[in-house]
Amino acid sequence: MPSQGMPKSLRKPQNYAITQKFRGGGGTKCYPCDLSNIDTIENLVKDIVQENGKLDGLVHCAGITATKPLSSNTYDFLDEMMRINVYSFIELVKHLSKKKNCNQNTSIVAVSSAASIRGDKAKSAYCMSKGALDSACQAMAAELGPEKRIRVNTVNPGWINTQMYSDYVKNVGQEYADATILDRQFLGVAEPYEVANVIAFLLSDASSQITGQSIVVDGGRTIW
């Protein structure tokens, strides 16, 4: 069950109920887990595989962000950011990539961010964590590709129409948000499904020779 250390949105029990509604034809199951407790992840993977059989992949969407000037950065703050955004993902891949836990041609996707290639004020922890994901994916792709044929990639979105975006708009006002976001992200703020489609592509065989890549899905934000 949800514990104290969980990211805010996942601490709400009603969010589990919402997720559980999406029971598609293939069957969807929810496994509550506090990803900041790295030690629990091995058993989580074990339980999932025991109940469902071998897996074909993993999408790591969990992540936290924070706006914090460098002067108020602490080691504990950096550690929390890294644990949820990066270390939990590495631990998940470590266990998932075992032969007994995944099928041939498994595909793994981590949600990174355009923040890994363009910095911003008061975002050093967030940018660091997303850059770490990008680099870790390259190394894991090189290690898991040749024999296990496991692919590892990231998607790097710009602004998405999620809670993170509406919080930003609430903070700075719509006019300022449009001026700072839409001017650069000229294809507009992405709807979540537009990023989900790219993740689905990376999971599918249609991307069978793409590995170790960071696919930027940012509506043009970081190309100029």
Partner 1 sequence: MINPMDLSGKRYIVTGASSGLGRQVCVTLSQLGANVTAIARREDRLKETLSLMEKGEHDYYFYDLSEVDGIESFVNSAVSKNGKYDGAVHCAGIGTLMPVAMSKYSFMKEIMDINFFSFVEMARVLSKKKNSNDEASFVAVSSAASEFTDKCKLGYTSSKGALDSAVKAMAVELGASRKMRFNTVNPGWIRTEMYNMIVEQTGAEHAEKTLSTHVLGITEPVEVANTIAFLLSSMSSKITGQNIFVDSGWTINSNND
Q: Which residues are catalytic?
A: 126
Residue that has been written with the tokens 């949800």 in this structure:
2
**What backbone torsions phi and psi does residue 60 show, to the nearest 5 degrees?**
-100, 95
CA distances from 163 to 110, 125, 167, 175, 186 (A): 19, 20, 6, 18, 21
- Pick between residue 44 and residue 160 the one whose CB is nearest to partner 1: 160
Question: Minimal distance in Å, beta carbon 118 to partner 1?
Answer: 13
- Pick between residue 44 and residue 217 the one whose CB is nearest to partner 1: 217
Question: Using CB under 8 A as the criterion, which residues of the chain lie in contact with partner 1 when the complex forms?
Answer: 138, 141-142, 145-146, 149, 151, 157-158, 186-188, 190, 194-195, 197-198, 200-201, 205-213, 215-220, 223-224
- Going by C-alpha positions, the residue among 144, 43, 32 that lies closest to residue 97 is 144
**What backbone torsions phi and psi does residue 154 show, to the nearest 5 degrees?**
-120, 155
Question: Minimal distance in Å, beta carbon 59 to partner 1?
Answer: 16
Distance of CA 86 to the CA centre of its chain: 9
Question: Minimal distance in Å, beta carbon 221 to partner 1?
Answer: 9
Residue 36, both tokens: 């900041």
Question: Minimal distance in Å, beta carbon 214 to partner 1?
Answer: 10
Distance of alpha carbon 114 from alpha carbon 43, whole angstroms: 32
